[in-house]
């Protein structure tokens, strides 16, 4: 074979591996693609070849062009083979990302996108996680690498025939790589949005692959345009739902309140699903008896939604009222350069003691810096928290132990000596789920399966119960408001778009906040305004959300992996990718109603993006 023939065969092998990855995705998650007919599935596989070919062509472009330089001197294996083995290494890297994408799809029901770009400080954890939990997958991958290497060698062995019309073939190769790499001859370069050109999310997910989506995000090949209306019109649209006190700073709000002097403890619960908390779902899993008891005496919110799908997005939303937006860094990666309401600093100005504690490492997700930037005076992480229980293996809790963290926090609150605002972030319910003591084991334990999750959830619930029981013995308890919600839902909670974000939200403050159930739609973006409202701070603040006590019907703005946004109401929801609608659902809502919902969604996205970009989010 000539150099070009061998190159094309290597390209075909890579393309076949991508198709196998798509088939694996389809077989492993049939419920996600059940709505597609047989013809649509075939069409998605065919459409997927465009995205597969595009990313392979871009990755292989340089080595292939070097491998096929149109001079006879290069018709030798000493030149061709090393470059071909470079293509082999690149193929292994792409396959590794494909495999990771398949595992990741189970967690969030979409392809990996920006996540790899945010792991620069977490590679140690990722390696520990991979070798500790998915060692078997790494072993299989090593065997696959050997098999692929054998196949690669089969292609490379043998003499290279001289290329005829080498210059012409080289030009043809260059043009072919360019055309395939851009996704076609005419029009613009292929983008993520092109996978959803028929408006079907499942079809788009099956067409795409994680290598392509990661490349697009990392190289910013998909320009972000958040401008849909003249800014004055966008402000007016948002003003239909909430009062605007300053059109130049549309996110600014102020409540006519007086300081209450209450203490407040906010607890962000790692991966607590709405459907797994019986007092909220009406189910009978039995994993959260302590939380269910609190819910009977607290104010439950039945239609509360996380603002995103990752922990740091939950921290950002609850702490600042700012959503995670496509094209903007998160709070741990640069959004802090813009002015935003610093909740801890506000509380300090009102004479409060502020403390932030998380069960995981201090620098996990750069939370230590996040807490400092929000104005919290004290910060503690796993390194600061002594273990109080004799765990089977204390090192297995990668993200720390909830009981020990909450008891550590209780000790700090005992010493406050004045009103306090505390923010706590649990972690034991994050995979891998550690081995636990017998008294909290409910099902046969697994590191990453649903049984392991239920056991970890039961332990976390027990920890919350012990924390509240200990707090009840302290003089500060009667004047304290406790707020509990989750950072995000997990993949064990099945269903449509709402279930992706549906989480419990509980305000527990006997004697301060009456017990009951609130059915208004609200979200993590409402948490910071709610805290300000409950503490009676009359200060100016900026947030996309509002206090849950001031909403009559409500809407929830959510973001899905930096790829799409959605607005959820009590009657309907609408999902959008900044170019077109991806999904709509509603009870008796007309097209005019969906158009109004779309206007509200896009206006919120536009204003959030432009105000943060222009540093006009807060004064």
pLDDT digits (tens, 9 = 90+) for 235-280: 999 999 888 999 999 999 999 999 999 999 999 999 999 999 999 9
Check if the beta carbon of residue 14 is closer than 8 Å to that of residue 94. Answer: yes
Check if the beta carbon of residue 413 is closer than 8 Å to that of residue 420. Answer: yes
**Could you tell me which of 437, 449, 409, 445 has the C-alpha nearest to residue 425?**
409
Tell me what pLDDT residue 521 has.
Answer: 97
What does the alpha-carbon distance between residue 435 and residue 552 come to, in Å, rounded to a whole number? 44
CB atoms under 10 Å from CB of 197, counted, come to 13
Structure tokens that stand for 33 in this block: 């693609």
What does the alpha-carbon distance between residue 583 and residue 468 come to, in Å, rounded to a whole number? 42
pLDDT in tens, 155-201: 998 778 887 888 898 999 999 999 999 998 876 788 876 787 565 67
What phi and psi, each to the nearest 5 degrees, are found at residue 57? -60, -40
**Could you tell me which of 364, 390, 434 has the C-alpha nearest to residue 132?**
434
101-118 b/e (C-beta count within 10 Å ≥ 16 → b):
bbebbebbbbbbbbbeeb
Reply yes or no on whether the pLDDT at 120 is more than 60: no
Check if the beta carbon of residue 360 is closer than 8 Å to that of residue 560. Answer: no
Check if the beta carbon of residue 75 is closer than 8 Å to that of residue 162. Answer: yes
Handedness of CA 509, 510, 514, 520 (dihedral sign): positive
Check if the beta carbon of residue 506 is closer than 8 Å to that of residue 485. Answer: yes
Tell me what pLDDT residue 494 has.
Answer: 85
Reply yes or no on whether the pLDDT at 318 is more than 80: yes
**Could you tell me which of 561, 560, 493 has the C-alpha nearest to residue 574?**
560
Taking only Cα atoms into account, the Rg of the chain, rounded to an integer number of angstroms, comes to 27
298 — alpha (psi -120 to 50), left (phi > 0) or beta? Answer: beta
Instruction: Assign 75 a pLDDT band (cuts: 50, 70, 90).
Output: confident
pLDDT in tens, 430-463: 999 998 987 778 888 998 899 999 999 999 999 9
Instruction: Assign 552 a pLDDT band (cuts: 50, 70, 90).
Output: confident
What does the alpha-carbon distance between residue 331 and residue 317 come to, in Å, rounded to a whole number? 9
Reply yes or no on whether the pLDDT at 86 is more than 80: yes
Tell me what pLDDT residue 585 has.
Answer: 93
**Higher-scoring residue by pLDDT: 131, 250:** 250
Reply yes or no on whether the pLDDT at 311 is more than 60: yes
- List 405's β-bridge partners, or say none: none
Which uninterrupted H or E stretch holds 107? helix 77-108
What does the alpha-carbon distance between residue 384 and residue 405 come to, in Å, rounded to a whole number? 9
Q: What is the mean pLDDT of residues 222-231?
A: 84
What does the alpha-carbon distance between residue 187 and residue 198 come to, in Å, rounded to a whole number? 17
Q: What is the pTM of this model?
A: 0.78
CB atoms under 10 Å from CB of 67, counted, come to 23
pLDDT in tens, 12-37: 999 999 999 999 999 999 988 998 99
Instruction: Assign 221 a pLDDT band (cuts: 50, 70, 90).
Output: very low
Give 45-100 as a DSSP string.
HHHHHHHHHHHHHHHHHHHHHHHT-SSGGG-SHHHHHHHHHHHHHHHHHHHHHHHH
Reply yes or no on whether the pLDDT at 489 is more than 70: yes
Reply yes or no on whether the pLDDT at 336 is more than 70: no
Compute the mean pLDDT over every residue in the chain, rounded to the nearest whole number. Answer: 91
CB atoms under 10 Å from CB of 135, counted, come to 10
Tell me what pLDDT residue 283 has.
Answer: 96
Q: Where are the domains of the chain?
A: 3-219, 231-464+471-613
Structure tokens that stand for 14 in this block: 């890579």
What phi and psi, each to the nearest 5 degrees, are found at residue 380? -140, 145
- Following CA atoms 373, 378, 381, 385 in sequence, which dihedral angle do they give, to the nearest 10 degrees? 180
Check if the beta carbon of residue 345 is closer than 8 Å to that of residue 375. Answer: yes
Domain 231-464+471-613: homologous superfamily in CATH: Alkaline Phosphatase, subunit A (3.40.720.10)
Percent of the chain with pLDDT over 70: 93
Q: If you search the block for the tokens 């089977």, which residue do you land on?
A: 392
Q: Tally the C-alpha atoms within 13 A of residue 275's C-alpha that lie toward its C-beta.
A: 14
Q: If you search the block for the tokens 């994408």, which residue do you land on?
A: 101
């Amino acid at each position: 074979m000539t150099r070009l023939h061998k190159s094309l065969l290597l390209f075909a092998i890579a393309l076949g591996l991508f198709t196998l990855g798509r088939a694996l995705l389809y077989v492993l998650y049939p419920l996600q693609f059940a709505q597609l007919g047989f013809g649509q599935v075939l069409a998605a596989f065919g459409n997927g070849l465009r995205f597969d070919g595009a990313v392979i062509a871009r990755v292989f472009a340089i080595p292939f062009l070097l491998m096929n330089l149109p001079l006879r001197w290069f018709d030798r294996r000493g030149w061709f083979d090393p470059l071909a083995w470079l293509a082999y290494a690149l193929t292994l890297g792409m396959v590794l990302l494909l495999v990771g994408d398949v595992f990741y799809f189970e967690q969030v029901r979409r392809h990996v996108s920006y996540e790899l770009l945010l792991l620069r400080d977490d590679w140690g954890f990722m390696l520990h996680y991979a070798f500790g939990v998915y060692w078997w997958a790494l072993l299989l991958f090593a065997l696959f690498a050997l098999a692929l290497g054998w196949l690669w060698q089969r292609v490379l062995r043998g003499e290279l025939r001289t290329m005829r019309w080498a210059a012409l073939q080289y030009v043809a190769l260059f043009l072919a790589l360019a055309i395939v790499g851009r996704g076609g001859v005419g029009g613009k370069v292929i983008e993520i949005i092109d996978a959803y050109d028929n408006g079907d999310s499942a079809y788009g997910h099956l067409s795409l692959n994680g290598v392509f989506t990661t490349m697009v995000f990392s190289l910013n090949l998909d320009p972000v345009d958040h401008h849909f209306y003249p800014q004055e019109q966008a402000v007016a649209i948002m003003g239909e739902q909430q009062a605007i006190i300053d059109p130049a700073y549309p996110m600014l709000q102020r409540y006519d309140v007086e300081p209450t002097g209450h203490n407040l403890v906010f607890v962000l619960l790692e991966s607590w699903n709405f459907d797994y908390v019986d007092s909220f779902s009406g189910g009978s899993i039995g994993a959260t008896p302590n939380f269910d008891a609190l819910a009977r005496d607290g104010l439950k919110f039945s239609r509360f939604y996380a603002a995103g799908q990752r922990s740091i997005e939950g921290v950002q939303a609850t702490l600042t009222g700012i959503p995670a937006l496509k094209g903007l860094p998160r709070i741990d990666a640069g959004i802090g350069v813009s002015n935003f309401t610093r909740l801890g600093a506000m509380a300090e100005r009102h004479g409060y003691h502020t403390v932030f504690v998380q069960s995981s490492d201090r620098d996990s997700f750069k939370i230590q810096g996040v807490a400092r930037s929000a104005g919290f005076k004290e910060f503690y992480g796993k390194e600061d928290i002594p273990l109080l229980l004799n765990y089977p293996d204390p090192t297995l809790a990668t993200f720390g132990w909830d009981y020990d963290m909450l008891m550590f926090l209780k000790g700090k609150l005992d010493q406050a000596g004045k009103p306090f605002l505390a923010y706590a972030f649990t972690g034991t319910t994050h995979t891998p789920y550690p081995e636990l003591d017998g008294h909290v084991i409910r099902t046969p334990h697994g590191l990453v399966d649903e049984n392991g999750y239920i056991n970890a959830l039961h332990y976390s619930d027990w920890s919350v119960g012990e924390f509240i029981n200990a707090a009840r013995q302290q003089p500060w308890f009667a004047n304290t408001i406790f707020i509990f919600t989750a950072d995000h839902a997990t993949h064990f909670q099945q269903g449509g778009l709402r279930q992706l974000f549906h989480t419990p939200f509980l305000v527990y403050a006997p004697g301060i906040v009456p017990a009951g159930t609130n059915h208004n739609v609200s979200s993590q973006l409402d948490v910071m305004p709610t805290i300000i409202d409950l503490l009676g701070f009359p200060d100016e603040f900026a947030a996309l959300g509002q206090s849950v006590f001031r909403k009559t019907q409500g809407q929830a703005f959510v973001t899905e992996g930096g790829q799409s946004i959605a607005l959820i109401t009590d009657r309907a929801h609408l999902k959008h990718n900044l170019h077109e609608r991806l999904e709509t659902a509603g009870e008796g809502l007309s097209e005019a109603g969906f158009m109004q919902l779309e206007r509200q969604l896009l206006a919120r996205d536009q204003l959030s993006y432009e105000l943060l970009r222009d540093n006009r989010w807060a004064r």
